Amino acid sequence: MAGPGDPPEGTPEGTPGGGEDEYRSVVFDESFVRAARLQEYSAQERMADHAPAVRRRPPLHRGLSRQALILVLLIAVAFGTAIYMGVRNPYQNSATRRPAEPLRMTVIPLAPQSAVPGTADTEALFAHSPAAQFRVGAEGIPLPASRRTAHFSDSQVVTALTTAKEYLVRSSLYPEVLTGQQVQPVRGLIDAGQLDQFDESFSHPAADGRHAPTGWLVRFDASQAELADRKIRVQGTLTAAETDSSTLEVTADHTFVYALRPAGADAKTPASLFTVRRELQFRFDRDDLRTHQTQLIVSYVQAGPLSCGEDSTNQLRPLLAGQTAKAGGPAGTDPYATGSATALCGSLATNAQPKV
């Protein structure tokens, strides 16, 4: 006897598991029914309007899914943040930078009061001079303990000090710079706003307080003198301070002592000491800190032994062992003439020379 859900004749033979098993995997849920493109009219609608049995439904306009909406919102937030950071980021706001000031420089030759002392033993020269306790090379330019300021972090202060030290090393210790063969090691550290002044100083040097190569770096006349000892003695200090919310300044005060002998002379030729005191003031804005460059705004240099009558604008012409300063000093300076700096010359103290 057939059950209530079976056909009167019973389940057809050859149908495994019954006919209903064929459609057991097909589920017609509510969303499936609503999404159907064809819809059957009701019996009442067909009797009243003589309409066809079915009608075509308009496409179902579904809104954005929740995931798509979230993705759109995230993209909009990221784009807005990028625009905001581009406006607020001080590194990108170069258009409002304060223009770089031109370097103001003073180079004062120091004339010896007697013949320059010398000996072939460079170690003895240093040992019997005020530079006896100076360190060698970059070791004589130690970085001070740094502290953050109101508007600059520890790392930014360290960057300013490190860049200033690198400038001193390249402009005072590099042999290729000292001999006038290269200027690029120094130029690479100069802020872009001062490059025109730097380049003009070397292409058209002038004693105007703005365009003296010896205001930017130490450079000897290679036709007259060469290093007798590459172990240059150095001593000095570096200090950093914030001048305003966008500017750091580093002050450097160092004395460099070189052992020199005549160009092309052998090791038995007496050497002498040459001293350069450099007081430099560096300025850093946030762009300079990012690019590891600097603005050199003040350069005050004393160097000797030199003759006051020699032009020390383009390069230094040291007086070597046994030589004396030329008689006379710099030509008179007209205070009414514009564009010329007052000529200065000093005397090299006797106790500044080695006792040999």
pLDDT at 99 over 90: no
Report percent pLDDT > 90 for the chain.
Answer: 60
- Please write the tens of the pLDDT for every residue from 133-171: 999 999 999 999 988 999 999 999 999 999 999 999 999
pLDDT at 20 over 60: no
Over residues 97-111, mean pLDDT: 90
SS3 122: helix
pLDDT at 42 over 90: no
Give the span between the Cα atoms of 284 and 296, in whole angstroms: 9
What confidence score (pLDDT) does residue 344 get? 78
pLDDT at 219 over 80: yes
pLDDT at 109 over 50: yes
Q: Which of 174-178, 225-229, 296-300, 332-336 has the lowest mean pLDDT?
A: 332-336
What confidence score (pLDDT) does residue 35 get? 60
Between these two residues, 309 and 211, which has the higher pLDDT value? 211
Over residues 199-213, mean pLDDT: 95
- Give the model's confidence band at 213: pLDDT under 50 very low, under 70 low, under 90 confident, else very high: very high
User: Cα–Cα distances in Å, from 303 out to 60, 68, 90, 181, 339?
Assistant: 90, 73, 40, 20, 24
Over residues 254-267, mean pLDDT: 96
What confidence score (pLDDT) does residue 121 get? 95
DSSP string, 59-99: P------HHHHHHHHHHHHHHHHHHHHHHH-TTT-GGGPPP
The residues pairing with 106 across neighbouring beta strands, listed in sequence order, are 300
pLDDT at 172 over 90: yes
- Give the model's confidence band at 338: pLDDT under 50 very low, under 70 low, under 90 confident, else very high: very low
Over residues 111-116, mean pLDDT: 92
What confidence score (pLDDT) does residue 67 get? 77
Closest CA relative to residue 176, chosen from 127, 125, 230: 230
What confidence score (pLDDT) does residue 53 get? 59
pLDDT at 224 over 70: yes
Strands 346-348 and 104-112, by their bridges, are parallel
Average pLDDT, the chain: 83
How many CA within 13 A on the CB side of residue 158?
5
Give the span between the Cα atoms of 172 and 217, in whole angstroms: 6
What confidence score (pLDDT) does residue 76 get? 84
